[in-house]
Structure 1
Amino acid sequence: MGSCKGDKSTQLPKRNILVHGPVIVGAGPSGLAVSACLKENGVPSLILERSDCIASLWQQRTYDRLKLHLPRQFCELPLFGFPKKFPKYPTKCEFVSYLELYAKHFSIEPIFKKVVHKAEFDEFSGLWKVQTQDCEYFSRWLIVATGENAEAYIPEIQGIEKFEGHLVHTSGYKSGLEFEKQRVLVVGCGNSGMEVSLDLCRHNAFPHMVVRSSVHILPREMFGVSTFSMAMTLLKWFPLRVVDKFLLLVAYLILGNTDNLGIKRPKTGPIELKNATGKTPVLDVEALSQIKSGNIKVMEGVVREITMKGAKFMDGQEKEFDSIILATGYKSNVPTWLKDWDDTFSEDGMPKRPFPESWRGEKGLFTVGFTKRGLLGTSSDAINIAREIGDQWRKMRAK
């Protein structure tokens, strides 16, 4: 799934393999979903995955306390729901077990440890050529399922290489247990930054969370109902901006004025902002109460410089820290391995076409899981792609 260093096998002659259905790059939820939908349409597929398991982001690069932020019904993949015994908000392990059940149900068997070094369209044959460390696969269709979160995003911060303490991205963070009694700088205040800060509190660490920009914080539930579920229901009856105003009013009543805590809200409402930029509101899971009590310190503004012992901030403050955790998110790695992508992808590796048409590329190229709309967007992409390729497949078979 994507690009990383090769091994000695890159020196061996490559085998050429003709794939009758699509080649799917990535065995995360997106790759599994589109493979299942293709199978439902009678189309075989081949999944290439760089790691040794499905959903490697979930299994290998997430922290232990992670739970789904949305109720399970909004996180189901197409054609196969969660087991009824699962809780409303499944844990990381429960979600992984669901994906394993999903793959087993549809007999999806990815080829693991296949690193895609390059994929390009061959004009002469009209096929996509996908090169791994030991094989070249040829197919009429290529489905990019590496997603928005293929690689950890590490921001450029002056002096970051000088820091003598422990520096880690959230993709390498597992538990606050190893940070007990430490002063920890958490850079980022999204859902990951908030949850990591909360986890640090619960393991007797002293987190200082950097709030670099404005952010919406909403309660995970309102009046006993999921905030997301309530928003989706209200949008069926009321204009988006009316729903946004309602959510902010209830958030104010439940959480109070976050501006007083050093966390300013954007001027644009949470749903409107999400649709326009993909920036997800934070769904509070008790981190805000720890901020109010002073157990999580909010550092407003931008880190100006990392020093040997800590950090300097734009407002002139300088503090010492034992560890720094970068809750700075992820990025697409598509430009590193997909060639001639300019027609479909922008420089940041995201589709040029806006949702809901972002799944459709050129010359048999498709993308799934790049909608910035979570697993609901993934499901929509998978269904559309399978329908399109299924129609083409049946026409080919009829000739």
Structure 2
Amino acid sequence: MPSSSPTRTRLTIFLSAAVLVLGGAFAAFYFASDRSHSANGTGSGDAKAATAMTTSPAKRTALAVSTVQAQEATWSQQLSVSGGVFPWQEAVIAAETSGLRVVEVAVDVGSVVRRGQLLAELARDSVDASLAQQEANLARARAAVSEAEANANRARRVKGSGAMSEQLINQYLIAEQSAKASVDAAVAALKSERVRLAQTRIVAPDDGVISSRNATLGSVVQAGNELFRMLRGNRLEWRAEVSAEQLSRVAPGQTARLSLADGSQINGSVRMLAPTLDPTTRKALVYVDLPTGSAARAGMFASGEILTGSSSANALPSSAVILRDGHSYVFQVDAQNVVRQIKVDTGRRQGGQVEILAPLPADARFVASGGAFLNDGDAVRVEAAA
């Protein structure tokens, strides 16, 4: 027991010394950290001041710009539409007789033909033979008529004299009528064979261009077999699809402008409007006549505009309109040469100009170009008006 007291005293002294050492170390770390933060704060303030001194002169530097004023112009009103190019009318040329062989094909796809021009020819040997037979039948019928007429005339002369019975007289008169009817039948049969002979020549029903050919040399045709298709008059039309609201603004005689796949443009004229709308698409067709000989071809799909009239427009150069975040802006320059950013709505575009839908002051100055480098409130230096 007496030996534990010195031990406890030494432990107490050791713990006290450890606490003093840790406390001194904590105090030293705290004061060092405080001095470091103070030094950093001072350096940051100096850097900010230096940055402000550096940027201040740049902010005062004015961007040189040219200005422009809004111009009042008269522009055409147009509807942007699209649709397919189709033949004005496509004639189907088919065989009108059966059992005859194709012996000549005179045209091919793309051939320009005139009304009545030979397209193909069928074998006519059997038709010639039938025609000769019908001519012989007609001659025989006419001979029979001559005999029947002579007998009927004799019967009429002796009628009532008792030289010939009434029954025989009636037979002669009826035979005369029957013979005449046989002549008429032979004439009709002969005419039918002549028509059939003419049908061996397949000719163009109108002026136009051959668009397809099914006729093959040596094939035997049947009545109704399609041999050719022809674009009548080589006329094409653009069938533009428009909505019900657009349809009310379109009228026959208006000018339409098409943009073709090769980049060329052609002008057409509205011929007629469809009387009904498609129940599925809720759109109507506008039929536009296209000029003959243009680059348009049947089956093309084209976009374009229909010019429906004209109206005035407030216009600025397209370079003065800046697109930011999906919106259009212009920069107006005030009397102190400070710009103000104004949000605008745009409309038609024509010849490097863009229509500003909201009214603009007539005497206001707007930055003509370079607006992409400006912000609201920037000072500018106006050099010259555009």
TM-score by length of 2: 0.19
Larger radius of gyration: 2
Q: Which structure features the higher share of strand residues?
A: 2
| TM-score, normalisation: structure 1 | 0.18
